[in-house]
Copies of this chain bind each other. A is one copy, B any other.
Amino acid sequence: MSREPFAVRLAAAGRELGSALCLGLDPTGCRDAAEVERFCATMLEAALPHIVAVKPNLAFFEQHGSEGLRVLERVRGMVPESRLLILDAKRSDIGNTAEAYARALFDVWGADAVTVNPLLGRDAVEPFLARAGTAALILARTSNPSAADFLEAPLQDGRPLYRLIVERALGWSGAAQIGFVVGATSATAIAEVRGLAPAAPLLLPGVGAQGGDLEAAVIAGLDATGGGIIVPVSRGITGAADPRAAAAELCRRIEAVRAVASRS
């Protein structure tokens, strides 16, 4: 099946749905796989009118063993074609092993995009760039405090490591299918990555519970067309008294920034 590039699909879906919001599915407190499934179904149903994408984090399914992964397979079936499925797996391994991970995430579990850890370099990432219409969202500068340990370590020429990651990745074959993960906790890093990669989709986690400033992150991340960003929110929606209202409000705040930015 030939498909438009992921960035084009994201732009089209964003326009049609009027949203750059992504529902993060992090079922943390569930006692068993059945409860995970109910959680996902409930939250999807609530947030669906206001989201462009859904991002399950595989860790919270894996902690229930193979039963948890069966739930992930059923959750895939609950996500309509009109929304993008981002599997947050942060996988990374050498060549033929990375190919197996790519098969699992794209071909078996039906991802439109996946998060990828770039530490092992080019030959570990390129297997995630081999399917038309999909994207590999490469960790650049994550939202956790310890991101400073290595991702911000200064290299010989003064650049932080995350900048080398972005610059190198843009030279790899299949680079048109690359996006980046940049924590909403650092608008400066988002602006820097956007400057280096004007057309790449940016996933901006860390809004809400992790302290990222939604408006600052969106302004820093927008591309020249006023798009190119995905804002995943987990606890800010699923932990709200009214998840649907929370999603609506987050979507509205993002669109308000986009409206102002597109007028300027």
* Interface residues of A, Cβ cutoff 8 Å to B: 26, 28, 57, 59-60, 62-70, 72-73, 90-98, 100-101, 103-104, 108-109, 117-124, 139, 142-151, 153-156, 158, 161, 164-165, 168
Contacts and interface: CB of A to CB of B under 8 A. Distances in A.
A147 B120 contact: yes
A171 B120 CA distance: 23
Given A94-B143, A144-B95, A151 B59 contact: no
B28 A94 contact: no
Contacts of A161: 150, 153, 161
B156 A144 contact: no
Given A65-B108, A69-B65, A155-B155, A124 B146 contact: yes
Copies of this chain per assembly: 2
A146 B126 CA distance: 11
Contacts of A139: 119-120
B144 A123 contact: yes
17 contacts: A57-B93, A57-B97, A65-B73, A65-B109, A66-B70, A66-B73, A69-B69, A94-B144, A95-B144, A119-B150, A120-B150, A121-B147, A121-B149, A121-B150, A122-B146, A124-B144, A150-B164
The 8 A-B residue pairs whose C-beta atoms are closest, nearest first, are: A121-B146, A121-B149, A66-B69, A59-B100, A62-B104, A94-B144, A123-B146, A66-B70
B65 A120 contact: no
Nearest to A70: B66
